[in-house]
Structure 1
Amino acid sequence: MQTTQSATGTELADERHGDGRPLILLHGGMAPREYWDPVVPHFDDFAAIIPQRPGFGTCLDDPEETSADEVLDREADYVRTLVDGVDGDPILLGHSYGALTAIEAATDAAVEAVVAYEPAVLPERFREEADLADRMERLLEDGHRREAVKRYIEQVLHPEGIDDLDAWLAEWPVWPDCVALAEEVIRMNRAVERYRLPDRLDVDAPALVLTGTDGPDFLRKSARAVHRAFPHSRLVEFDGISHSGPAEAPELISAEVDAFLRA
């Protein structure tokens, strides 16, 4: 792990692999930085930088001090600190909430390109009815911490439904340790629920927006909306790939990213 001091004095932690053009990999949701382990070997011509998201590890001294309104700004500032600390303009590759963070960071950072896999952006009608943060908070207040996190998993990771959630959780590498992150996940979800995608994103760098046919329909719609909002963007949809596309099909995703960057 390598540490960097932010402008506010917070210690930021990240892993670094390889040499070459800097590539910052931003994980999403409740995924740990290990989410990118299957992906990194396919980017051996790059210097991969994998940060530990603030509040999801050692780099945020007191996550309880951070409000929902500050979560996205805090993480975008964190990414900008990483951008300022590398040689040259890096490529930002984000998944889900990490993709949203990459987009926000790129509005005020010198980056070579932005690659966003199914950014955590809610379509307007979906956003108006979203209440996941409130439902999780009520469960947490009633002492049902595990159930609160399960609601997130059901709605975000398995919106199409799942027959046996407990069996799936038993095989999920981050369960049950991720239950400790319930408060941070609520703040993150509230930030997503409040985020409004502008008609035009103030990002000069070229963008590649990725989505999969097996992911949630609302995220596929959002991917198209984000693509339209970027001034310079390409949209690619993968057949038979889910919301976990980068980890699920790393060779396919990395090949598309490589072709985009070469072009």
Structure 2
Amino acid sequence: MPLAEAADGTALHYEVHGSGRPLVLLSGQSNSRRWWDPVRDDFAAAYRTLVVDWRGTGESGHPETDSYSTPGFARDVVAVLDHAGIDRAHVYGTSMGGRVAQWIAADHPERVDRLVLGCTSPGAPHGIERGPEVRAALSQPDAAAAHRALKELMYTPGWIARQGAHPVFHTLGDPDMPAHARRRHLRASARHDAWDALTRITAPTLVVHGTDDVFNPTANAPLLAERIPGARMQLVSGARHAYFEEFAEVATPLVLEFLAGQAGQAGAAEEGA
């Protein structure tokens, strides 16, 4: 079980699958490496993929300190790369993982080949925040109703219905995550602001977002694409926040084509910027 060590001594668990050029896959807030389970093998067929348990999740350490921030998570990822002996990699981050990926590309440009930012945001104050109705649905006292609301923000109702009686969803939070770490993840993501750093990104960048994402509003995609020099944007029609899973038949090929230097050939998506 590979364990890197962060600068503050926190253990950082990661896994490597496949072979070839390295590709780092970064998951969303309060989620472990399992976020990528449904599609990881599709990437591992072409790349040496590295998935990470954020501090506070999975088999990484769960420090009760103020060490949780998106720039700090970026430093954790660099520590993992160092431990794995990877000098440079493609980086694909989704949701909070996309926020962290922004810092990796801006602060550690020598470590990033190509960058993919999925369903993410530049952060406050320049990003577009989710609406009050979304916040209310997620914070309602009925835990089952809040869980159902989160699921419907991630996936379309039709896709949820097709998953059967006892579906397994890997994007709804690490069930074993302690409460103190969950609070710190929420605060770290909410405090993210990479607006000034985005102009420093030099890696070829693809911004991907679902057209029907209200959890992290789609309007954030053009903000990122216009702010990052030379970035491209692809919108996945009809997709909500977990576009990379439900719409994998569209999203995975367009990301793979971009990583291979063939961006723009995936005609199943809507393109802009």
TM-fit CA distance, 1:10 = 2.2
Matched, 1:55 2:50: no
TM-fit CA distance, 1:245 = 1.2
Distance 2:122 2:151 in 1: 12
Percent identity between matched residues is 25
How is 1:91-240 mapped onto 2 (pairs within 5 angstroms)? 91-109=90-108, 110-122=111-123, 124=126, 126-127=128-129, 147=143, 154=149, 158=153, 171=167, 173=169, 178=175, 180-198=177-195, 201=198, 202-216=200-214, 219-240=217-238
Distance 2:194 2:180 in 1: 25
Q: Tell me which moved more, 173-182 or 85-94.
A: 173-182
Kindly indicate whether the alpha-carbon contact (under 8 Å) linking 1:19 and 1:46 is maintained by their aligned counterparts in 2: yes
The CA deviation string for residues 6-44 of structure 1, in whole angstroms up to 9 with x for no partner, is 333322111110110111111102333222122122221
In the alignment, structure 2 segments of 5+ residues that lack a partner are: 158-163, 262-273
CA pair 156-132 structure 1, distance change in 2 beyond 3 A: farther
Q: Return the TM-score normalized by structure 1.
A: 0.77
1:195 aligned partner, one-letter code: H
2:36 aligned partner, one-letter code: W
3-state SS of paired residue (1:241): coil
Provide the residue aligned with 2:255 in structure 1.
Answer: 257
Q: Which structure features the higher share of helix residues? A: 1
Give aligned pairs, total: 247
TM-fit CA distance, 1:89 = 1.2
3-state SS of paired residue (1:253): helix
Kindly indicate whether the alpha-carbon contact (under 8 Å) linking 2:207 and 2:231 is maintained by their aligned counterparts in 1: yes
TM-fit CA distance, 1:48 = 0.7
Q: Return the TM-score normalized by structure 2.
A: 0.75
How is 1:26-41 mapped onto 2 (pairs within 5 angstroms)? 26-41=26-41
Distance 2:49 2:215 in 1: 30
In the alignment, structure 1 segments of 5+ residues that lack a partner are: 163-167
Root-mean-square deviation (Å): 3.6
